[in-house]
Structure 1
């Protein structure tokens, strides 16, 4: 799944990091849809219902445009379908921040946008996932590996000036118009798949990540690539890295660089033993049980034998230890 992301680049830097080659092999930089660059706010801790930068075909807004041309838009995280009848999108009863790849072609919420070509790419520096262990949840930050200097220009698509690649997640979007009039609301959902071997020890689901500009082009170009063909791009990938981060990210109101700073996890301490448990452990380590000797036929004991001290066997030592443990400890003298 994907429930929190980080996207810290300014609007102009996002546009620059999303440069691509069109069908004529021209290097192009997608522009922002009018007014949308102001709706997007960079954040180290983005959660559902916030606005995120989304890449999609320009043809969704300009009918005469080529479907391979791209545009940037700010969309609300959590899909509101076009047929939603309430006047307030917050009254949506279903969690639509993610949609499962294995059922999206069947569910009413998602099959409409899927087969109408409403495919988009959600942009982020990385996303967060929580690993559950021993009743606790440890957050991890997950992202693309940095681009190396010797890599080809094609491999450097969607990178910023520091060589960091924007994470490009496949999604679906829709446009909802308020029944009482008002500005249309564009919203999206992140498609999820079974987690890859790289991260399935953290969580069993992960976003469907498009690795490289060729995959992005095929996913966005709904005019040339039908849904059935585009769905072949939706699968787990191994080309990601991660590191643990502070639990400060657990609260979505915390928007600081600390959210993504690597954290060194300390090994957990063993629980402290009580005084009686320590005595028992010491006794077990110092006394090993002896093999039981075969019993002899005992004669009737003489009366004088009862005055003889019993042999201190391991069982006798245990009996004495238990007896001492059961006795009340002497009171300390008052000072």
Structure 2
């Protein structure tokens, strides 16, 4: 799953990586991003619009579901084309969530131990996500997850869909609307470039928000 992540790369670095203009409003470094908050994302608000940075609500609820509909934070890649809840957004409303890494918890004798996962070269990651209009304020989103691969599988059985750099433009391409067409040109990042280390259990509390959260600890 993906229930907590960090984004501390500055907007100019992320925008240069994507070849996009910088966002209108710069975000502040965040080391403990939790669901039910506004997060940075990249999307096409309209099919003929250029991709741009936007503020997205992390918690997905299609407008037709009403105010009482569920608001999942993740969507399983295996079910995107089968689920009525996610199908429309998968075909028409795909977006990217920039991150420097994400947290997962591995069960142990002393309780669950958090780990931070990121690229070995410490470059930004881009998580595949879907969006829908949200309460007349920009959009809401869910981060897509897939079975864990590589080092991530040693910690948890799921991980976010991290896209490789050559797939980012295609993921946002509004002309790609069919599952097989999307799968033929969109690929996840090679798991061999990921690394992970244990971090402080302070990350368990969303009130903790500082750079020390991503520092390795000795078990």
Q: Compute the TM-score of the two structures, normalised by the length of structure 1.
A: 0.60
Equivalent of 2:106 in 131, 145, 155? 131
CA distance in 2, matches of 1:255, 1:145: 23
Is the Cα–Cα contact under 8 Å of residues 219 and 225 in structure 1 kept in the other structure?
no
Q: 1:12 to 1:237 in 2, by over 3 A?
A: closer
* SS of residue in 1 equivalent to 2:78: coil
CA distance in 2, matches of 1:103, 1:236: 20
Which structure has more relative contact order (CA 8 Å, sep 6+)? It is 2
Q: 1:114 to 1:198 in 2, by over 3 A?
A: same
Aligned: 1:228 with 2:146: no
Is the Cα–Cα contact under 8 Å of residues 195 and 236 in structure 1 kept in the other structure?
no
Q: Which residue of 1 is the match for residue 32 of structure 2?
A: 45
Is the Cα–Cα contact under 8 Å of residues 83 and 176 in structure 1 kept in the other structure?
no
Equivalent of 1:110 in 62, 81, 86? 86
Q: Which residue of 2 is the match for residue 144 of structure 1?
A: 119
Q: Which runs of 5+ in 1 are unaligned?
A: 20-28, 147-163, 178-182, 266-335
CA distance in 2, matches of 1:251, 1:44: 12
| Superposed CA offset, 1:294-333 (max 9, x none) | xxxxxxxxxxxxxxxxxxxxxxxxxxxxxxxxxxxxxxxx
| Superposed CA offset, 1:262-296 (max 9, x none) | 1121xxxxxxxxxxxxxxxxxxxxxxxxxxxxxxx
Q: 1:144 to 1:225 in 2, by over 3 A?
A: farther
CA distance in 2, matches of 1:257, 1:128: 14
* SS of residue in 2 equivalent to 1:200: helix
- Aligned-pair CA distance for 1:197: 2.9
Q: 1:264 to 1:108 in 2, by over 3 A?
A: same
Q: 1:258 to 1:139 in 2, by over 3 A?
A: same
Matches within 5 A, 1:149-228: 164-177=122-135, 183-212=136-165, 214-224=166-176, 226-228=178-180
- Aligned-pair CA distance for 1:144: 1.1
Equivalent of 2:75 in 92, 99, 102? 99
Equivalent of 1:30 in 18, 21, 25? 21
Q: 1:231 to 1:211 in 2, by over 3 A?
A: same
CA distance in 2, matches of 1:235, 1:31: 25
Is the Cα–Cα contact under 8 Å of residues 164 and 187 in structure 2 kept in the other structure?
no
- Aligned-pair CA distance for 1:41: 4.1
- Aligned-pair CA distance for 1:254: 0.2
Aligned: 1:78 with 2:30: no
| Superposed CA offset, 1:68-116 (max 9, x none) | x421111011112121322xxxx54x3511111111211121011112x
How many correspondences in the alignment?
217
* SS of residue in 2 equivalent to 1:49: coil
| Bigger CA radius of gyration | 1
* SS of residue in 2 equivalent to 1:76: strand
Q: Which runs of 5+ in 2 are unaligned?
A: none
| Superposed CA offset, 1:158-217 (max 9, x none) | xxxxxx41111111111134xxxxx334011111111113221200001111111x2111
Q: Compute the TM-score of the two structures, normalised by the length of structure 2.
A: 0.89
- Aligned-pair CA distance for 1:17: 3.7
